Chain A
Amino acid sequence: MISNLITHPSTSLILGAMLIYMFKGKGNYIALISLLASFIILIFFTDQKDLVFTTTGISIHYFSYNSLSFLFCLVFLLIGIIGKVFSIYNNNDNEKALILIYISSSIAVIFSGDFLTLYVFWEIMAITSTFIIWSSDSMQSGKAGQRYLIIHLFGGLILLLGIVGLYLDTNDLAIRIINLESWYSWLILTGLLLNAGSPPFSQWISDAYPEGSYSSTVFLSAYTTKASVFVLIMTFAGSYILVLLGIYMIMYGIIYALLENDIRRILSYSIVNQVGFMIVGIGIGSELSINGTAAHAFSHIIYKGLLLMSAGSVIYMTGKRKCSDVGGLYKTMPVTAACGIIGALSISAFPLTSGFISKSMIVDASYHQNLEIIWLLLLIGSAGVFLHAGIKFPWFVFFHKDQKIDTTDPPFFMRGAMIAASAICIILGMMPNLLYEILPYKVNYIPYTGNHVVSQLHLLLFSALAFFMSLKYLKRTQTITLDIDWFYRDKLKYIDKIYNYISENLSNYVEKINISILKSRFEIFENFLLKQITISNMLTLILITLFIFLVLNI
């Protein structure tokens, strides 16, 4: 019934997106209210029972609650609210509505109980995030969004093939642990991993996310990869191949980030690196490692949001996005610098920050499972995180050579959002039980032991020493580093050519039609719809139709 739909946290967000298009200029209020409403619904009104919608022999589990989905939804809404406050000075109404649909579809993904629902919202996520990238005014966002969309549609197709295989074989679409014995399970795994940024296609994260607007990158970084991590926990926990892929992602992220010059691209590479830790946790598959993965996803979303907000503030205030163009900003942007450093310490798992209580669970899980080599590699990863995100980012942006840029800290709400995220990082680091209580399994883990604090401090301090000793080798240069997209990047112009050919011929064809009625109808269509409805509005229309269809049928 309708009351069932209202208790779904996504509903208020979709309604919010509709209202933003109806009341232009009131986007901030509507988005914030719908996010808060969704948050209240999740905490107080969400039923813990499954909601099913049955039609023509297929039952669609569009809402399936468990403690893990609650945790992910909670952090999705938390960063949604913080990011919304941060982006309050962005006047692009289109982007605001799209972000709401993006959040709602990612929440729908984590609450979906079967692969069909998952697939539908998975694709909506891919499409809305592409439009979010396109709604930025950056010059490269068009091409970057195109490459992003192609990768995601490709991944979605592989996922769909796998889902079809699963249905044909077992006649059951419920989301459950799948073993890797059949061809379709490999397809599903590939489709899911593509969204997590796994090899060989890890480059889409650093290619597309930095092309979003200064505020939308905060949202983009949080949802797609982590929704994928959630689904991987639900379907492939304990598959050893994930451990190896995760280790690759950790090393890839560090090495590419060390060579990168663009501030947000460094942080995007560190998303790959951090998701790598989560993938390793999923692959180990013990209770401690799954808890660690969930906890790490929670703290990662907050501190990565914080880091990207501080990078976004620098871009908003100075208009510069490269490490080589900024430096010495701690004097003019003290609040941004302080928040950026807290985020950097959290990502490096410094004691008293959120990373320390979550990442160490994954590292310790490998320790307890007697995976010595993996444990040693994870230690290299932990040291490397401090190297590229913990020191490199704050050092080259806020310290290093003073470029004498005349600027100030960003306006009130942007500072407020950064301070709130920093506070969450530190509160979680000091009171880990707040997070441990909502983890899927019972937690018997104590992060603050003498051994753990000492070993972590040793590891990090000597990584810092290595960084400063080799500073002259890490000099920023105006360069990019080639990746796997080198193979197909220049082939994409053929797609442009096909598109241009079709659109030119189509308009010629329409011009040739001389039947007056058809022409007048076309004019009406053109005047009333095409001029007022952009593609993203049309997407909202499709969603509204789906929504009405659901309401009428249930």
Chain B
Amino acid sequence: MKTRKNIIYILFVFVNITPYLYSFYDFKKIHFGIDNIIGFYPIYGFLACMGLIIIAKAFSLIFKKDDTYYD
């Protein structure tokens, strides 16, 4: 459990420093307009992963079987 806690702390630090990464980001070089929004990539990445996990979870309700299913 200790390693898990440490990793979550490290991630917390990373997540907190991400706004500073924007000092390297050039908003003039965007293409679609949607990537112009501050926080588009972090929020989109987070929501995408949450969505995928939820879909996988829903999927598992029907298609997940015991691993001796075919034996």
Main secondary structure of the interface of A (DSSP, over half): helix
Query: CA A454 – CA B67 in complex, angstroms?
Result: 42
A464–B25 CB distance below 8 A: no
Question: Are B26 and A459 interface neighbours, CB within 8 A?
Answer: no
| Given A461-B18, A481-B64, also A453-B48 (CB < 8 A) | no
Chain A nearest Cβ from B44, distance in angstroms: 6
**Distance, CA A259 to CA B46, complexed state (A):** 19
A489 beta carbon closer than 8 Å to chain B? yes
A374: min CB distance to chain B, Å = 12
Whether B18 pairs with A479 at a CB distance below 8 angstroms is no
A132 at the interface (CB under 8 A from B): no
CB distance from A257 to the nearest CB of B (A): 9
Bound complex: CA A522 to CA B11 (Å):
71
Chain B residues near A399 (CB-CB < 8 A): 3-4, 7
Asked if residues A454 and B48 are in contact (CB atoms below 8 Å), the reply is no
Tell me the complex Cα distance, A405–B31, Å.
51
User: In the complex, A483→B69 CA distance in Å?
Assistant: 12
- Chain B 11-46 residues near chain A, CB threshold 8 A: 11, 14-15, 18, 21-22, 24-26, 29-32, 34-35, 41-46
Bound Cα distance A489, B43 (Å):
42
B65 and A367 contact, CB distance less than 8 A: no
Q: Which of A451, A458, A481, A482 contacts B29 (CB 8 A)?
A: A451
The reply to whether A458 and B41 form a contact with Cβ atoms under 8 Å apart is yes
Distance of A387 Cα from B49 Cα, bound (Å): 7
Is B45's CB under 8 angstroms from A459's CB?
A: yes
Contact, CB under 8 Å: A450 / B24: yes
Interface membership of A468, Cβ < 8 A: yes
**Pairwise interchain contact B18-A458, C-beta atoms closer than 8 A:** yes
Residues facing B in A450-490 (CB within 8 A) are: 450-451, 453-455, 457-468, 470, 473-474, 477-483, 489-490
Beta-carbon contact of A384 and B64 below 8 Å:
no
**Shortest Cβ distance from A142 into chain B, in angstroms?**
13
Smallest Cβ-Cβ distance to B69: which chain A residue: A480
Min CB gap A458→B, angstroms:
4
- 5 A-B residue pairings within 8 Å (CB atoms): A254-B56, A259-B60, A372-B34, A454-B41, A483-B63
The 5 closest A-B pairs by CB, nearest first: A466-B49, A450-B24, A458-B41, A459-B45, A462-B46
Give 13 new A-B contacts, CB below 8 A, not counting A459-B45, A461-B11, A481-B59.
A258-B52, A259-B64, A375-B32, A449-B26, A451-B25, A454-B21, A458-B21, A460-B45, A463-B45, A479-B60, A480-B65, A481-B64, A482-B65
Residues of B within 8 A of A (CB): 3-4, 7-8, 11, 14-15, 18, 21-22, 24-26, 29-32, 34-35, 41-46, 48-53, 55-57, 59-60, 63-67, 69-70
